Chain A
């Protein structure tokens, strides 16, 4: 699915990722944890194609294609989905219009006919139900005036609409109360299949009680310094990150 080799990335000449190696196979759930500033969000931004970051070294292959060579929209159309840590508010663009444009662009890419208005609305109804999103949210402008929890649910709703092969959830749990967290996690679990993969980026172990990872990686100072099974998340929860920091201090 995804193979990252020796990935280096910087912003304003400051190197944030300093040689990431990671392989994600179909059906797997990987959790990436780490203290603040370790490069977790940078990794997700670079994978999604945010042009703010320069990739200086390394390569990434996604379903056999050179991911770094693709425009952000083509990465999305190939099946990569980033659930944003801070979803952007876009007043004036309605959720319906936004999603219809996105879904039909995906279909066009796959050389399928665009959905008619009624087909699209039907799809939207189904997916709303699946991820338990409040029906009113989709009548509004994209994320405008949404609460933190609503924004995150909206990300999962978009994920349901676009049916990605690889979903990267960037701190989807931050700012969520326990009920919202459960709804978001349920949504993610329902969308999981043996053909799709998930990367969960999180600061805390709590989300991983709901979305159970096959592997847990610790990112520190731009490198993956530890990889293990899900038990690593519990260990980090108990002991914090200090012991990691000590162990890998430069």
Chain B
């Protein structure tokens, strides 16, 4: 069932929305999911949709974006609405296990029989009921429901999403591609909840591709919890490619165990308003974490990356690099909070945020925030804001390369460092060419799935 809600005063209507539809929210959802709803709801209502008066959201006032008339789906049929069979995704030169979600709900996936032994991929509400012990051990144990309003909101309202489970010792041969499609005839509010469990000694790579294929306004609150077991190696790439009417709050909450090695890369190639909450909890010794991001924005787009790396235990390393290119009147923000707890001796934490502003109207707020309570650590941070290098430009022009082409080369050169961090070779190639297209202005977000080139309709090219 789709219901239309009209949000003017935020709290009042969201409260009403939850209370009136609690039975619909609970219907068919896993037990643990429902058990956590009410507490999460209370936390959400207590805090409200963050305005820029909330320190963590200082540079992104979310309130205006969460107002309006939206459709909300309360079951899979309503969310998918007959659009499921249109999709045929595949990264050129890259064989993947695919799973499709429409408006936050599981829609379809490749034949399960093709999966390696014991690997579970599918709808979270379905798989949680089949494997309650896995689900209950992890669900909502790492999302900051008490401290972050958006995580609380997601926990209160989410009904479906993806579930990925990699058992002990299994190395998944192909990347898992999770395609999130926003579509429909009305403006829509979407919640999506993903859970990824990578057991000890397991290895996997996940690509989250977010895109819009119809021109409606979409307001999305999604949240992914990742649990990386001992000695696991896990990569997650979030490729955001949505039209200008999209508002996305995307939570990525990663918890790492001993000797695990996790890489996350948030690639915001095109979107209206994006807020990424990326949190890494190094809960054990000798963890290694790579936290990367690239944001390209123009017109009036806005991207806010808020990262929080919690060094809770000794001998862990984190490498953080975010780079952004802002054109026209675009704005962006970066916060890099690094907490080194008193016990976390021998921590190595490196953070860097570099920005390129192409016009006088483009804007960036960059805030490194290091809190160090241990005394034997190596931590560094750096933030830069700059323009294109005149000398490099002259060098290119002196070789016969025109100014526009030179600009593209130099912007690409700037972004390249983050692209180089991608550990899936064909994906790297793809992102490379997409970023170049983006800088050339040929980038077609109508190719909805940026990675696979899934065609959208021309009207979605806003």
Contacts and interface: CB of A to CB of B under 8 A. Distances in A.
Contacts of B115: none
Contact of A98 (B390, B399, B417): B399
B414 A102 contact: no
Interface stretch (A55-63, A68-76, A194-202, A205-213): A68-76
A105 interface: yes
Contact of B398 (A82, A91, A106): A82
B400 A73 contact: yes
Nearest to A101: B401
Q: Which of A52, A76, A92, A106 has the most CB of B within 10 A?
A: A92
A96 to B, nearest CB: 12
A228 interface: no
Nearest to B397: A72
A51 interface: yes
Interface residues of A, number: 29
Interface in A2-55: 48-52
Contacts of A123: none
Contact of A90 (B395, B397, B415): B395
A97 B398 contact: no
Contacts of B396: 90, 98, 102
Contacts of B373: none
Q: Which of A49, A71, A90, A158 has the most CB of B within 10 A?
A: A90
A49 B398 contact: yes
Contacts of A77: 400
Given A72-B394, A88-B391, A88-B392, A102 B400 contact: yes
Given A84-B395, A90-B392, A73 B413 contact: no
A152 to B, nearest CB: 14
B394 A76 contact: no
Contact of B399 (A51, A92, A141, A158): A158
B412 interface: yes
Nearest to B414: A92
Nearest to A71: B397
B433 to A, nearest CB: 12
A76 B416 contact: no
B4 interface: no
Nearest to A78: B400
Nearest to A142: B395
A49 B397 CA distance: 9
Contacts of B410: 90, 93
Size range of the interface on B? 20 to 34
A91 B394 CA distance: 15
A87 B403 CA distance: 18
Nearest to B436: A97
A189 B416 CA distance: 37
A102 B413 contact: no
A115 interface: no
Contacts of A105: 400-402, 405
Contact of A93 (B390, B397, B398, B409): B409
Interface string B425-441: 00000000000000000
A93 B400 CA distance: 16
A161 B265 CA distance: 38
A106 B400 contact: yes
Given A93-B410, A93-B413, A73 B392 contact: no
B398 A87 contact: no
A162 B390 CA distance: 22
Nearest to B391: A88
A248 interface: no
Nearest to B409: A93
Contacts of B401: 73, 98, 101-102, 105
B398 A76 contact: yes
A102 B415 CA distance: 21
A74 B141 CA distance: 62
Given A88-B391, A90-B392, A101-B405, A72 B413 contact: no
Nearest to A105: B400
A98 B409 contact: yes
Contacts of A106: 400
Nearest to B400: A76
Contacts of B392: 88, 90
Contacts of A76: 397-400
A98 B406 CA distance: 9
B395 A101 contact: no
B416 to A, nearest CB: 4
Nearest to B394: A50
Q: Which of A93, A97, A158 has the most CB of B within 10 A?
A: A93
Interface string A93-117: 1000110011001100100000000
Contacts of A92: 412-417
Contacts of B403: 71, 73
B133 to A, nearest CB: 48
A239 B226 CA distance: 75
B398 A72 contact: yes
A176 B389 CA distance: 27
A109 B397 CA distance: 14
A224 B403 CA distance: 33
Contacts of A87: 395
A102 B399 contact: yes
A88 B400 contact: no
A87 B391 CA distance: 9
Contacts of B405: 101, 105
Interface in B268-324: none
A80 to B, nearest CB: 9
Contact of A97 (B397, B402, B409): B409
A71 B398 CA distance: 9
Contacts of B415: 92
Given A90-B413, A158-B399, 5 more contacts: A48-B394, A52-B390, A84-B395, A98-B409, A162-B400
25 contacts: A49-B398, A50-B394, A51-B394, A71-B397, A73-B397, A73-B403, A76-B398, A76-B399, A77-B400, A84-B395, A84-B398, A88-B394, A90-B410, A91-B413, A91-B417, A92-B413, A92-B415, A92-B417, A97-B409, A98-B401, A98-B409, A101-B401, A102-B396, A102-B400, A105-B400
Minimum-distance CB pairs A-B, first 10: A92-B413, A76-B400, A92-B416, A72-B397, A88-B395, A102-B399, A93-B413, A73-B397, A77-B400, A105-B400
